Amino acid sequence: MPTPPASSDTLLVIVPAFNEEAAVGDVVRAIHAAVPGTPVLVIDDCSTDATQGVARQAGAQVLPLPHHLGLGGCVQAGYKLAFELGYAYVIRVDGDGQHDASDIPRVFEALRESGCEMVIGSRFMDGNGAHTGAVRGLGIRFFRMVLRPILGKAVYDPTSGFVGVNRNALQVFSKSFPLEYPEIEALVVLQRKRFRFLEIPCKMRPRTTGRSSITAVRSIYYIVHVLLGVFVNVLKFDQRARHPANPGKS
C-alpha cells in the first residue's frame, strides 16, 4: 500500500470525469501549472472514450471505476482514497474544463487559513455567473432560498463543483456522501456535523466540450431529488439534536 503523506499540509486535487477526453488533458495540465508538484487524481467513472489514456498522458494518476457510479459515487471514491492515503486537503475540480485551475492556490490558502471544513469556489460572488443557463440560474436562486435557513447563512453558489475540503470533512464524506447531485446535500451533511464552510469568488469558463448532465427536463427531477435529500438530512439533523447520545452517527 502506498505510504501516506507525512506532512499535515498535503493536498490532492481530484478530477471526476466521465467521457471527457476532449477536456481532461488540458484540465490536468492546467492544474500542474497552477500547483506544481501537487498530485492530480482523475477518477474515471467508466468512460467509454479515451479519458483514462488522455489523463495519464497529461501526467495524472487515474482511479478507474469498474462501472458507472454517477458523480457522487465517483467523487466519494476519490475522497475515500485520499483519506486512506492520509491527505490533509482535497480540492475537487470538474473534468469539463469549466473551473479555472489558477484559482486552486486561493482555495487551498483559504482552506488552510480559515480552518473551515469546506471552501467553495463561487462563480456568483463577483458577478461572474454569466455562463450559467437560465433554468440552472433559477434553480440556484431557489436553492439559495431553501438553504439559507438550514445553513444559517447565505450560500451564493450551492451547486458549485469547485470545492476544497479538509481532513475532517474528508472523514465524513468518505463514509457518507450523496450519490446523485451531491453538492447541495453535502452542504447540509456538513451542517449536521456542525462544520463550517466558506465561499470565495472564482472564475468559471463556459463549457467548450461535451454536455452538462443536467438538461432542462432533468432540472425538474434534479430539484425534486435534491429537495428530498435536503429534507431527509434535515430530519436526521433534528433526530440528532433530540438524541445527543449518538453525536457521530450520520
Instruction: Using CB under 8 A, list all residues that contact other proteins.
Output: 1-3, 12, 39, 41, 61, 63-67, 69, 73, 76-77, 80-81, 84-85, 179
What is the nearest approach in angstroms of other proteins to the Cβ of residue 212? 23
What is the nearest approach in angstroms of other proteins to the Cβ of residue 47? 13
Angstrom distance (rounded) from CA 196 to CA 58: 34
**Which CB, 80 or 167, lies closer to other proteins?**
80
- Whether 13 and 91 have beta carbons less than 8 Å apart is answered as yes
34's enclosing H/E stretch is helix 24-34
**Which CB, 84 or 113, lies closer to other proteins?**
84
Angstrom distance (rounded) from CA 143 to CA 150: 11
What is the nearest approach in angstroms of other proteins to the Cβ of residue 70? 9
Report how far Cα 8 is from the mean position of its chain's Cα atoms. 21
What is the nearest approach in angstroms of other proteins to the Cβ of residue 5? 9
Angstrom distance (rounded) from CA 148 to CA 244: 24
Report which DSSP code applies to 62. Answer: E
**Which CB, 69 or 110, lies closer to other proteins?**
69
**Which CB, 208 or 250, lies closer to other proteins?**
250
Residue position matching grid coordinates 484559482: 103
The residue length of the chain stands at: 250
What is the nearest approach in angstroms of other proteins to the Cβ of residue 12? 6
**Which CB, 67 or 242, lies closer to other proteins?**
67
Report how far Cα 42 is from the mean position of its chain's Cα atoms. 13
Task: Name the nearest CA neighbour of 152 among 178, 188, 111.
Answer: 188
